[in-house]
Amino acid sequence: MGTGSDGVLLLAAVPLGDTGDASQRLRDALATADVVAAEDTRRLSRLAGALGVTVGGRVVSFYEDVEASRVPGLVAAVRDGSTVLVVTDGGMPSVSDPGYRLVVACVDAGLAVRCLPGPSAVLTALAVSGLPTDRFCFEGFAPRADGRRRTWLRTLATEPRTTVFFESPRRLASLLAVAVEELGGERPGAICRELTKTHEEVVRGSLAELAAWADERDVLGEVTVVLGPAVPVTPEPEDLAAQVLGLVADGRRLRDAARDVAAAHGVSKNALYDAALRLRE
């Protein structure tokens, strides 16, 4: 149920680097919004100057450390009929950037939430990676601590979708070294650095190749990592024969047990039946 307010929360994607990617809707919103909540007010000023736009409304800082404390006031502004525009340093607000808490609060209050689409580091990196794009998942920032990082990488060991995540340039080499240990050096990937900026760089290869590349240089700038999907491994019938005989020991017919285990693992039921017979002899 709405509140009857004519206010609206606008989430606006801003250029990742090249200001030529700014939309006309972004320009209009910067000029007309009653309140502009910016992750970095200095960057907002530089962006507005580059776009030839004068920010017409009240500007408030809206970075991670103050996000929670700013939400009540911004919700109140929307409720009172104001247009509140949220912009970050680059890309789409609320995607690993400030904005999510404010969106939830406005939705819970029945207030209008709209989006001005535009640049996204996630989709840009995915598109240029050369990896499958039909199915993908976004994992935010990679964990910092070694134990959590290894546990997280293990969850990706069988991930059938392409995975996109962010990483600090200072931790990239160590992350890739651990990824080789946990996922294997042959897993394909791509490192996308400084997307749409002057020094944009996309490096594609196996995890082993990417780890060697990162280890040999001082990586700078914003980094997005794209990890190719895991390749399903089909077990050999001999590896499943003991499982079939375990079902037989529980009272199942050999042929029925072989059929069900084969279906679960994508192997030939006849080959599995023969392997179970050989193991039983």
Model confidence pLDDT, tens digit, residues 4-20 = 568 999 999 999 999 99
Class of domain 122-227: alpha beta
pLDDT reported for residue 32? 97
**The pLDDT value given to residue 51:** 96
Give the pTM.
Answer: 0.80
202, β-bridge pairs: 192
Percent of the chain at pLDDT > 70 equals: 98
Domain boundaries, the chain: 8-119, 122-227, 237-280
Mean pLDDT along residues 133-138: 96
Q: What is the pLDDT averaged over residues 53-69?
A: 96
Which of the residue ranges 80-84, 177-181, 230-234 would you say has the lowest mean pLDDT? 230-234
Mean pLDDT of the chain: 94
Residue 108 scores a pLDDT above 70:
yes
Q: How many residues does the chain have?
A: 281
pLDDT confidence tier of residue 74, bands split at 50, 70 and 90: very high
- pLDDT given for residue 87 in this prediction: 97
- The pLDDT value recorded for residue 1 is 42
Are the C-beta atoms of residues 18 and 66 closer than 8 Å to each other? no
> What average pLDDT does this structure show over 63-71?
95
- Given a cut of 50, whether residue 2 has pLDDT beyond it is no
Mean pLDDT of 255-269: 88
Cα–Cα distance for residue pair 207/210, rounded to 1 Å: 5
pLDDT attached to residue 52: 96
Q: What is the pLDDT of residue 212?
A: 97
Better pLDDT: 275 or 85: 85
Compute the distance between CA of residue 104 and CA of residue 39 in angstroms, rounded to an integer: 18
Q: Are 230 and 157 in contact (CB under 8 A)?
A: yes
Q: What are the Cα distances from residue 38, in Å, to 124, 139, 157, 238?
A: 22, 24, 38, 61
Cβ neighbours of residue 205 closer than 8 Å, sequence gap 6 or more: 188, 189, 190, 213
Q: What is 8-119's CATH number? A: 3.40.1010.10
pLDDT digits (tens, 9 = 90+) for 155-200: 999 999 999 999 999 999 999 999 999 999 999 999 999 999 999 9
